[in-house]
Structure 1
């Protein structure tokens, strides 16, 4: 597995990503080592939960499986990491469903603006039968979803002014994840959407290439974007789950006993991540406010939601088979 992994990395990643990956691979590679991808830095709720997953799996399998999580996207950006995991070059990863859409069209439902009314509702949906439907769709693309992490509610932030109503977005150049739905969302508000790698956002904010972006409080704080963008407006337009996904090839190589251990560890990690997220989000909010960021809550989201109606109509027209899935999720509110 070790040689297969590095051969694939060398062939598929930019040189800088390969160098970064090599720099952290100081431990000897063994056949039972599992390489895992994570975009977040050390100490981030997801990173702490993934380390817990690593340790529980290693301990409960008596070292038969030794997961190793690589933080800070040192193994490439998320689209690259998803492809690597599908091919088995990486064994697992913590993936946001936003950039998953081009590979698993069903997951684009989760990227529809204002689909969920709360994070708790999202958890109920993803932990139930509807979540299994998404897991089945991922499995068809060689990704086994073992548990669902939270990533809070995403909101807009920028360097120019507070966003209180849809027209306040007009003319702003805003970074979005690589998904056409996010481009359409910003366009519907009169802004200029700019798909961009997460690692490029800070410098782009600083130099004025973009005016802002959209994310949650922990990411806004841990990325240091708050040092440049001094206006954070709580629109809560997206509540997108993340999965702890394992490569199907790595999963199929496990015994039934080890599959049970790995799945239980993933579910335990999700519980821990959700608890840490709530704590971390509040601390991040307090930190950015103390640093001078102006935070405003958009109490009435109806005007924003109305602007999203054409996006839903176009999506259903393009994916009529997914309309019932949207309805099922909305009926859980």
Structure 2
């Protein structure tokens, strides 16, 4: 089932579908793929996506070629999910956070503390769980060719370090627009404020919110470290990203080209993870040198224990998550 969207957006998508169809008709021998990307030119995901389409072009002798459109110029991620479903674009680099609206099973990776650490996330997503999530996405017109690293999100705020769940009580924290993230803050006794990312800096500066949460590179590139000078390493959310393709575009490829394109995607994933690790360390050093007050929470049990109601509600709302949770937790 495709997500419903407003008439104005529908008109834009239909225009893109018409354009995509015209390209496919006029160039039947080649698959000219449009790629969506929210990040700017030097971001690890951007470099990896561009490497992918360049390699796909090379190994298929031009039968799969295309371009990555960076900076969300083709629309928001919710727009692009819809465009991928209807075949108006052919590939994208997505965070799995917003994907849950289209594919409810994917919400499992948005559960706080579902992954032990980044290495655990990689093992899970590169294994049978990742394959099953891609199968669930495939039913909605999208499939994952490879899993990218989205880093680990931690709390940062303006007034004090977060050492225990009690330090969150009464604090106003900006979260992404997802019921699971709202529940996460409320389970810690805080007040969750869903808000557009572009509004967070000013809201931190003026006290509309006391804090937010994100990974080191985003904390750095957004300049949030200038106004929220306490960074507490909770790593409560480790949300993978994917190199996703339109099932319609994928099915038009020959089996031989599918093998070649998938390998190009997997190779791009290894590149992205290396670049992400480097960028993560560079951002951490930069903000600490700027005077950010950093504390690491070595024992996160009190935080993870507080998430039991969040898990219970998630499973109640979507019983299919139960088996995914069990499978993820069984991976060493």
Q: Which runs of 5+ in 1 are unaligned?
A: 1-7, 19-27
Residues 213 and 77 (structure 1), Cα distance of their counterparts in 2 relative to 1, 3 Å cut: farther
Please give the alpha-carbon distance, in whole angstroms, between the structure 2 residues aligned to 1:35 and 1:200: 29
Residue-pair matches, total? 314
SS of the aligned residue for 2:320 comes to helix
SS of the aligned residue for 1:113 comes to coil
Partner of 1:22: none
Please give the alpha-carbon distance, in whole angstroms, between the structure 2 residues aligned to 1:209 and 1:268: 43
- Do the aligned partners of 1:173 and 1:192 also contact (CA within 8 Å) in 2? yes
Partner of 1:301: 300
Please give the alpha-carbon distance, in whole angstroms, between the structure 1 residues aligned to 2:206 and 2:264: 43
Partner of 2:147: 148
- Do the aligned partners of 1:126 and 1:148 also contact (CA within 8 Å) in 2? yes
Matches within 5 A, 1:1-333: 11-12=11-12, 32-333=31-332
| Residues 204-256 of structure 1 deviation map (CA, whole Å, 9 limit, x = unaligned) | 33343333221111121122222222111110101111111001111112222
SS of the aligned residue for 2:159 comes to coil
Please give the alpha-carbon distance, in whole angstroms, between the structure 2 residues aligned to 1:262 and 1:310: 42
- Do the aligned partners of 2:105 and 2:320 also contact (CA within 8 Å) in 1? no
TM-score, structure 2 as length reference: 0.88
Please give the alpha-carbon distance, in whole angstroms, between the structure 1 residues aligned to 2:221 and 2:69: 17
Partner of 1:4: none
Please give the alpha-carbon distance, in whole angstroms, between the structure 2 residues aligned to 1:114 and 1:293: 24
Please give the alpha-carbon distance, in whole angstroms, between the structure 1 residues aligned to 2:87 and 2:287: 39
Please give the alpha-carbon distance, in whole angstroms, between the structure 2 residues aligned to 1:66 and 1:328: 37
TM-score, structure 1 as length reference: 0.88
1:10, distance to aligned residue in structure 2 (A): 8.1
1:9, distance to aligned residue in structure 2 (A): 6.6
1:290, distance to aligned residue in structure 2 (A): 1.1
Please give the alpha-carbon distance, in whole angstroms, between the structure 2 residues aligned to 1:173 and 1:105: 27
Q: Which runs of 5+ in 2 are unaligned?
A: 1-7, 17-22
Please give the alpha-carbon distance, in whole angstroms, between the structure 1 residues aligned to 2:293 and 2:104: 37
SS of the aligned residue for 1:115 comes to coil
| Residues 68-119 of structure 1 deviation map (CA, whole Å, 9 limit, x = unaligned) | 1122222222112111111111211111111111111111111111111111
Please give the alpha-carbon distance, in whole angstroms, between the structure 2 residues aligned to 1:262 and 1:273: 16
SS of the aligned residue for 1:101 comes to helix
CA RMSD of aligned residues (A): 2.3
